[in-house]
Amino acid sequence: MTHKIILLTIVTFGILSCGRNPQKQPPKGSYYAPTYAKGFCIDTVDNQKILVVLNPFQNTENVRYRYTVGGTTAKKVICMSTTHIALLDFIGETGSIAGISGAGYVYNHSVKARCRQGAIADVGYDAGLNYERILALQPDVVFAYGVSGEMEAIGKKLQELGVTVVYLGEYTEEHPLGKAEWVVAISTFFGQEKLAIEKFNAVADEYNKLKKLTEKIEKKTPVLLNAPWSGVWYVPGKHSNMASYLADAGGESVIALNSQRDSYPVSIEHAYSSAQKASLWLNPGRVQTLAELSSMSKLIADIPVFGSGNVYNNNARSTPQGGSDFFESGVVNPHIVLRDLITILHPEVADGKDLFYYTQLR
């Protein structure tokens, strides 16, 4: 193992200055108080910076991870999610990546090239994680995520083996700018806080400027979201990233969204009935063509918006294995995602630029 740079502890709510409930408002750290993110803040204790990560796992409460950062910087890291690659690329630190989880899902061209050259190792994922390879890489930090209990168990095993694991919870954020703001959190391991804050603020300014384009639009565009899967139709919760994007782009879901953040299933029959009101269809899974989409259910061909061809998917930039740049670099480019959506939903107020993450199905 190379030099240690982080001290990890777990504490409960009510101890640190950034200990406001993250479900109600962004936490307030003494060094950095996020504007949009609810899952982290940065404190200073005895002249040391402390990154505090709040509830980085789904459906958890009263959990905090504290990471002492500063002094030395991470030279060699492993990314367990492609979003971590995008966060590092945002601050020019992809050169520190020594390992990734699932090389086939990575879109970043320079990182993929280094994978092909053998400069970055694929350490596997989930049950197929290669612990020996991780130990051989001697990383300063493994950036992990907490979608499932299995990942938390993996993190604990790595820590038992002497590997420093840092949980990043950007995927739990409700607003796109909240996800993007996690670039400030990851920047603390490289001494790049100033750069990260400046670049994030520029992204937020551009996002909010685009959002103003649709604020005076009275008629929201009725949108059908997602597509059937295994006999049900999953839709995003009202407090999800996609719901935020849709509202900021001047649209509304034809399927009434519940008050949660996570996606939830509705019956195909209910989705089909609601779909009759849609004038646009967004994010219909991994399909590349209208023919592929129609093969998912015999009801689809009878949906009016399908017949009109106003169907757009967010997989314009994808890998043969199913990786998507929308879910990778989109985390730090919410302004570009929003521009795409405004161009699709309200071309009358858009700037006329070509779509970046989205493409119209043919």
In the prediction, which pLDDT does 147 show?
Answer: 66
Pairing of strands 311-313, 40-45: unpaired
Closest CA relative to residue 209, chosen from 13, 342, 73, 113: 342
CATH superfamily placement of domain 215-360: Nitrogenase molybdenum iron protein domain (3.40.50.1980)
Residues facing 54 on adjacent strands:
64
Q: 271 to each of 203, 244, 303, 320, how far by Cα in Å?
A: 35, 20, 10, 29
In the prediction, which pLDDT does 37 show?
Answer: 96
CATH superfamily placement of domain 8-207: Nitrogenase molybdenum iron protein domain (3.40.50.1980)
* Alpha-carbon torsion angle 349, 354, 357, 360, nearest 10: 90
Cβ contact 141:164 at 8 Å: yes
In the prediction, which pLDDT does 5 show?
Answer: 52
Segments of the chain with pLDDT less than 50? 1-4, 7, 9-17, 19-23
In the prediction, which pLDDT does 53 show?
Answer: 95
| pTM of this structure | 0.92
Tell me the average pLDDT of the chain: 90
The pair of three-digit structure tokens given for residue 232, joined into one six-digit string: 């049900």
Domains 8-207 and 215-360 alike in fold: yes
In the prediction, which pLDDT does 23 show?
Answer: 43
Distance, C-alpha 104 to centroid of its chain: 18
Pairing of strands 232-235, 264-267: antiparallel
Residue with tokens 């009263």: 62
The count of residues in the chain is 362
Q: Where are the domains of the chain?
A: 8-207, 215-360
Q: Give every CB contact of residue 209 below 8 A, 6+ residues apart in sequence.
A: none
| Cβ-based neighbour number of residue 103 at 10 Å | 21
Measured CA to CA, the distance from residue 49 to residue 358 in angstroms comes to 39
In the prediction, which pLDDT does 213 show?
Answer: 96
Strand order in the sheet with 264-267: 228-229, 232-235, 264-267
**296-354 per-position pLDDT tens digit:** 988 999 999 999 999 999 999 999 888 999 999 999 999 999 999 999 999 999 988 99
Measured CA to CA, the distance from residue 234 to residue 191 in angstroms comes to 40
